[in-house]
């Protein structure tokens, strides 16, 4: 893999990445993928709403699993409803070695 970095106001970010997949018998490249960063903004203030469930744009009937709370949420009538108890129980991890 080949990486190139660019300095954005003191923060270095990858600006170019090249990945080669090689044939194990010949050592020749069978696939080359190249990625180039065209635009970037670093340390731009974000609104808290960016990190909310609403930011996903889910519609009624879609589900999301909250891994932190161990809850399955269903979007219904524009709100998120906890349907965990009706679908499954959070595993008891206290007995896992």
Give me the count of residues in the chain: 97
Q: What pLDDT score was predicted for residue 2?
A: 93
In the chain (97 residues long), the average pLDDT of successive 10-residue segments reads 88 92 91 92 87 91 90 91 73 69
Does 47 reside within a domain? no
pTM over 0.85: no
Whether residue 17 is contained in a domain is answered as yes
Looking at residue 45, its pLDDT comes to 93
Q: How far apart are the first and last CA of the chain?
A: 38
pLDDT given at position 43: 80
Q: For residues 82 and 75, what is the distance between their CA atoms, to the nearest angstrom? A: 9
61 is a domain residue: yes
| β-pair partners for 12 | 7
97 in a structural domain = no
Residue 42 lies inside a defined structural domain of this protein: no
pLDDT at 59: 94
Residue 74 lies in a domain: yes
Instruction: Give me the half-sphere count of Cα atoms (radius 13 Å) on the Cβ side of residue 59.
Output: 0
SS3 73: strand
Q: Give me the number of domains the chain comprises.
A: 2
Domain that holds residue 9: 2-36
Asked if residue 26 belongs to a domain, the reply is: yes
């Amino acid at each position: 893999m080949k990486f190139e970095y660019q300095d954005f106001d003191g923060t270095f970010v990858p600006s170019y990445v090249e990945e080669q997949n090689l044939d194990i018998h010949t050592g020749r490249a069978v696939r080359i993928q190249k990625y180039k960063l065209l635009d970037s903004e670093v340390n731009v203030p974000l609104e808290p709403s960016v990190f909310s469930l609403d930011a996903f744009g889910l519609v009624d009937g879609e589900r999301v699993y909250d891994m932190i709370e161990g809850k399955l949420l269903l979007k219904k009538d524009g709100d998120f409803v906890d349907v965990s108890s009706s679908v499954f129980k959070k595993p008891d991890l206290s007995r896992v070695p």
